[in-house]
Chain A
Amino acid sequence: MKCLVTGSNVKVLGKAVHSLSRIGDELYLEPLEDGLSLRTVNSSRSAYACFLFAPLFFQQYQAATPGQDPLRCKILMKSFLSVFRSLAMLEKTVEKCCISLNGRSSRLVVQLYCKYGVRKTHNLSFQDCESLQAVFDPAVCPHVLCAPARVLGEAVLPFPPALAEVTLGIGRGHRIILRSYQEEAGEGARHGLGQGAEMGWDGAGPRFPPVAVPTDSTVKAMVTEMSIGGEDFQQLQAQEGVAITFCLKEFRGLLSFAESANLSLSIYFDGPGRPAIFAIKDSLLDGHFVLATLSEPDPHPQDLRAPELQQPAPQLQAHSTPHLDDFALDDIDSYMIAMETTVGSEGSRTLPSTSLSPGFQPHCSPGSHSEEEDDTEPSTVPGTPPPKKFRSLFFGSILAPAHSPQGPSPVLAEDSEGEG
């Protein structure tokens, strides 16, 4: 494989790597016929990100030497990022960037051709791996929002950088509402209503996740809400009252890229618990971030919920972020974005199903209490996984393409949460 990037595209590539680094610790690099794909997934598989750079993005693009199978590799994100760490330096001094991989060497070579004849060569070790793909299809999502990245950037500006999760909803009069989501831990947390009459919402407003109110006087966090008119959006196809909660930190990764490239960002989503797809696209590249969303807890009698908006049981739960240490992971099997890994050149990225498939035994942190701990049963799977697909990320790269595990496999040892 050999790819040559020149001029300002080097910085674009660097920015994409920075965005991906917000999600996962490993970068999957795969040269495809329709371009070079860079993918990553986070450790709890609740976030997946992918950038695809078309051949035209490169001055020279050779996916594979003729006669050879295309190579796929998995690199430590930290290593790859270190090449592109200083975006200012990339912009000022780097003229060309060449990424090459030949089957014989065990190193991915990234060379930066800089001004004044300086050439920096990085030899990065990698692992052969299977192709990483998430199963998602924007076309299946009933709700779509599309806005210039600048608008969304301004929308998240009032939120503190440290805020983990945010709820996005559609309010009355087609206003788009973003509200900081507070994860309330602590014994005896009770569910309360989301913001009620004060904000002018009634039952027809967005159903924000109930605010859990600690009964002891622990430090309560500030709640910030931003409301934007639908006119600022290029596309708004969503019911009033719909709301999803996702990880803001992960979203910011894509948002900063989209802002710097001056692109529009589309959000495809369904209901709470279903993954939300954030997409950007231009003629030379496209990017997709798929983030799991928080599912709703059991309905409470006080909830002002119009009957038609009730979620059908069983509820698929989603854990939107691995960052919160106290978060009890009830049924990790249903938290995952469905992932598919294949041997061979099945390069198609989107498949017509959005199924969330079970993977592992539940892993519960002892003692911690969360609003999602309820009595819903483990998720029902809409259909068993097709024979060729299997979970491989936790099992390493042992491949058995002909069959899949018969049921959930026990987790033998799990990485501790949190990125390094």
Chain B
Amino acid sequence: MWCELEQENFFSEFQMEGVSAENNAIYLELTSENLSRALKTAQNARVLKIKLTNKHFPCLTVSIELLSVSSSSRVVTHDIPVKVIPRKLWKDLQEPTVPDADVSIYLPVLKTMKSIVEKMKNISNHLIIEANLNGELNLKIETELVCVTTHFKDLENPPLASENASQDRNSEQMAEVHIDIRKLLQFLAGQQVNPTKATCNIVKNKIVHFDLLHEDVSLQYFIPALS
């Protein structure tokens, strides 16, 4: 999963000094559950500050001043241990590139998709996603006893980026990929709000790539095909 946030949209103050002028970045590794728990306590925050500190080991210190009914302020501080990733490993952590998609399509309402996939999970772990350039997306599961397919119609397709594509391609032809349903569910379960834009890119039998745009945040999720 790859997510990018423009700092200007979130922080009123932002100071960062990377490793060097040419490599003005810092790569950190941390347990996401810690950060999520720390941020949960910030629901009623007046001010939130995040600092990279060193308290015997590198920490991301999240300091939250809570709104308080009484005259005194309440401050919660979380020190999240992080690992600073050495520069030689940075190349492994770049934004993944996706081969040109065979089909790109806008997703239906995520909540609907989630409830359908949740029910399908009880039948099989193996899900087939297929879509075509005609605005049709199908979710299929097949077992010995039963086959269930949910058809989404009248979805739109984003304009094709690549030039060599459209003319030859039959817009009715489906591109499919077989994936682990649990991974799709993990992704759908994490979506709380409907994104501004949600695109699904399928590379036949290789990978499905979800590209979501919430107002200020871009989120990309890659699920490889089952071998």
Contacts and interface: CB of A to CB of B under 8 A. Distances in A.
User: Do A and B assemble together?
Assistant: yes
Contact of A222 (B73, B75, B81): B81
Contact of A213 (B56, B75, B77): B56
A225 B81 CA distance: 14
B76 A158 contact: yes
**Which bracket fits the contact residues of B?**
20 to 34
Given A158-B41, A195-B55, A224 B77 contact: yes
A118 interface: no
A222 B34 CA distance: 7
B56 A211 contact: yes
A192 B56 CA distance: 8
Interface in B145-161: none
A213 B74 contact: no
Contacts of B71: 229, 231
Contacts of A195: 55, 79
Nearest to A178: B76
B81 A221 contact: yes
B73 A224 contact: no
Contacts of B31: 219, 222
B138 interface: no
Interface string B59-95: 1010000000011111111111101000000000000
B37 A160 contact: yes
B76 A226 contact: yes
Contacts, number: 66
B156 to A, nearest CB: 44
A157 B76 CA distance: 10
Nearest to B79: A223
A154 B68 CA distance: 11
A232 interface: yes
A211 B57 CA distance: 11
Contacts of A219: 31, 81
A227 interface: yes
Nearest to A158: B41
B53 interface: yes
Contacts of A230: 72
A231 B72 contact: yes
A196 B54 CA distance: 11
B131 interface: no
A196 B56 CA distance: 10
B105 interface: no
Interface of B: 31, 34, 37-38, 41, 53, 55-57, 59, 61, 70-81, 83
Interface of A: 154, 157-158, 160, 175, 192, 195-196, 198-199, 211, 213, 217, 219-232
21 contacts: A154-B74, A158-B76, A158-B78, A192-B56, A195-B55, A195-B79, A196-B55, A199-B77, A213-B56, A217-B83, A219-B31, A219-B81, A222-B34, A222-B78, A222-B79, A224-B77, A225-B79, A226-B75, A226-B77, A229-B71, A231-B72
